[in-house]
Amino acid sequence: MTTSTETTVTGNALPKLETKETPIWLIAISILLPTSFAMLATSATNVAIPYIAGYFGSTVDEANWVITIYMIANAILIPLTGWLENYMGRVMFLKVFITIFTIGSLLCAMAQSLNMLVVGRLIQGIGGGPMMPISQAILIASFPYNKRGQAMALFGLAVMVFSIMGPTFGGFIVDNSAWQWIYLANIPVGIFSVVLVHCNISELKNRVKPDKVDFVGFGALVLWLMSMQIVLDKGQQYNWFDCTWIAWLAGISLFAFIFFIVWELEYHSPIVNLRVFKDKNFFIGTILGASVNMIIYVTIVLLPSFLQSLMGYNAMLSGLALAPRVFSCIVMLMLIGPMVEFLDNRVLIACGFFFLGISTIMYANLNLMISFQFAVLPNILMGIGVILVFIPVSGLVLGTLPKTELSNGAGLHSLCKCVMTAFVVSMSSTLVARLSQVHQTYLVKNLSNFNLIFQQKIHAMSGHFMSFSSNYAMHKAGGLLYKQLLAQSKLMAYVDVFEAFALIAFILIPFGFLLKVPKKDKT
């Protein structure tokens, strides 16, 4: 199967490639390879932060700027995908940003200071930001209608598998080698990807090049996303709005967001076309896509955190706990991809959110005595739910847009998912911290001399220190008991957060039926 040639780019006509006839599977490989490693760069660094902090002699909070700056650069570039593609041309756009990502990776690997690493991550984030939306748009434009299920299956394979495997890959690297190899691995892939793009991706004919640069809109976008990301990343560390500069940044972010919306709707040549949200499928599909991203990343962040902080797992083992999700994703992709065109996508979405809810409820059965095998079944069910939602939503969310708006729509869709993910991951960490304090306050009331069970427990524990004085033995027993109380408080907080997100998944089950399934036409 090869792509066909078409010259028009107006209305709903599919913007085709100029003259180069390339097999669609080569197109898919050419764009999904750099996309996969951009996703890997997003999640693999997270587990390496303590090692990076130790290498440069900085605190973990200072090293976290490595993550923050990457997310800021990503978020700013994602919504500009459509505009930049029209301005630069598709082939040049891809080659330039893959090269930027590769150079950023090289700078990260060569960094001799934390500041240099932050600069490298900034450049890497600029290059990696547009990869996911542009790959989604190219796949939908290149594959015929009856093959789009397979296209979205490939897209899902790249995004989901590499996102989930990121912590495992990063954990393996830092446990067995130097953290620099997380970035060095991207360099040969980046070079090879540029060659693939040059050989296999063709330019759009009659693309409409923007006549003006919307500097005001771009400035508002940068101000909004930059201030918002800093607030979300640093809010918990500085106690949120009790910190003056956090409160100011939150106000600036809100003002810039409102100004950006108004300006882009009124300006004659906006850098981002927000009117695509008038499309019902795009609006609802973006909500559902952001929601499934939210549930995925909450579990990706909280489960390894639980295993490391309360169960004593190392980075690699905590990452491997997510491995069953990868395998179930791959199996479901092979099963659902070929059938998605013949099944009611809305039913698939409803079933997917049901599986997401069930698996997240199973996470809420955590305790401090679980074995490594505990994570297998809920992760398998989570992988099933992710694919049942992700593939249909990825196709339907852009399926009713004018084809000239595919890149713009894909960029906005990815931005909404990125913003929701950043917000929810930040909030989930805050909820765990705050709910731990609430449960601690409740449980500490039971550590009283008037509580017979407490008295029996502390006397039994003090028996382990009988070689010391009785006062010292009681003091040590009290310390151990309080340490157990802190662990139980944090465990209860994790359970509360998982239960809340399970409830969200169940609430979203009927929303998939609001989507419209496009008619199967010749495209």
Residues 233 and 367 in one domain: no
- Do 447 and 522 reside in the same domain of the chain? yes
pLDDT in tens, 262-304: 988 888 777 777 888 888 888 888 888 888 888 887 887 788 7
Q: Which residues of the chain have pLDDT under 70?
A: 1-22, 145-146, 148-149, 204-211, 315, 337, 403, 446-479, 518-523
Instruction: Indicate if 241 and 342 belong to the same structural domain.
Output: no
Cα–Cα distance for residue pair 257/267, rounded to 1 Å = 15
Strand partners, 2: 23
In the DSSP assignment, the letter for residue 311 is: S
What pLDDT does 248 receive?
Answer: 93
Domain boundary among 255, 270, 285: 270
Residues in contact with 85: Cβ distance below 8 Å, sequence separation at least 6, in sequence order: 93, 134, 137, 207, 407
pLDDT in tens, 432-461: 888 888 888 877 776 666 666 666 666 666
Query: What pLDDT shows up at residue 265?
Result: 86
- Amino acid 7: pLDDT: 35
- What's the pLDDT at 308? 76
pLDDT score for 466:
58
Residue 163 CA to residue 383 CA, distance in Å, equals: 12
- Mark whether 198 and 225 lie in a shared domain: no
Give the count of domains, the chain. 3
Phi, psi of 2 (to 5 degrees): -130, 160
- Indicate the pTM of the whole model: 0.74
Note whether 373 and 482 are same-domain residues.
yes
Shared domain for 304 and 431, answered yes or no, is: yes
- 184 in the same domain as 303: no
- What residues make up the domain containing 475? 276-523
Tell me what pLDDT residue 15 has.
Answer: 44
Place of tokens 């709707």: 265
State the pLDDT at residue 409.
Answer: 78
For residues 456 and 332, what is the distance between their CA atoms, to the nearest angstrom? 52
